[in-house]
Amino acid sequence: MNGEVAPGAREISRATLEKHIGRVATWSIAGPPPLPRYQSQRVLMPDYEQLQIGDVILTRNKPKRWWSVVATLIQRVQTNYRCPKDDCCWTHAALYVGELHVIEANKTTDFRRGIRIRPLTAFVRSCDLLVLRQKDPTFDDLKRQQMTRRALLENTIFRRRYDVRTALAALIKGRPPARRHETHVNCSEFVLQSFMEIGFYVKEYFGLVTSNQFFYPAHLLSLPGFDREEMKWFQLVHSFEESAAPAIADVPQVASTPGD
């Protein structure tokens, strides 16, 4: 339970959430059903009605509440590299794959597996969230599915590591080391490559690879074709009676990998 609140967030029961995104996904984002004495507690979570697979989720640390050395350094680096000032606060990027989960390139404790799937509720206590949605009319449901399936393969087959060496080079404003795109990646480059795989931002991606440049979350905000949306919120109530919610056909589903 994250115990967070958001003004205007409407309530949704656990039974309704399980109906629309499934029990496994619900347990992943909210944990198992609590004991009766704790059922009055609420879980703040992003509004799954708003999100579509293929959306980009950016995060920034909440002011005066959570302080992250990594996020602070990334913000400083983005400022040093002349990213737009108002965009430098967004320090992490992930790709929405449905059912309130994202896939991201992020450092883990052992640094061996940089690509992972993560529930969006993991960011609620420490971060504000921003949604970037590709507005190109050719970015249809088929393109979204193709991109998301390709990204999910990163978590199961390719398993690239987080590019720690490049992150450290950025902190001292040095030239990026010889890049190892086949085996290492960071968060914003992973998102950019996912779009490149379906024919978007090809020039930007290969310009990044061939010129050996840095690419940060703030750079995603400068790419043409993205609309920005503030995240909307639900308040999960641990009730097993269904609450009002849209038809299941209106809820974005997770993209399955080939062979499902």
Chunk the chain into consecutive blocks of 10 residues (it has 260) and report each block's average pLDDT, rounded to whole numbers: 66 89 90 71 87 96 69 81 87 95 76 78 90 96 95 77 69 62 81 95 88 84 94 82 48 45
At 174 the pLDDT is 59
At 198 the pLDDT is 96
Cβ pair 145, 239 in contact under 8 A: no
Domain borders along the chain are 10-48+232-250, 56-228
At 175 the pLDDT is 59
Residue 128 parent element (H or E): strand 127-134
Residue by residue, DSSP assigns 207-220 as HHHHHT----HHHH
At 83 the pLDDT is 83
At 249 the pLDDT is 38
42-46 and 226-230 as β-strands: parallel, antiparallel, unpaired? unpaired
Q: pTM here?
A: 0.83
Greatest alpha-carbon pair distance for the chain in Å reads 58
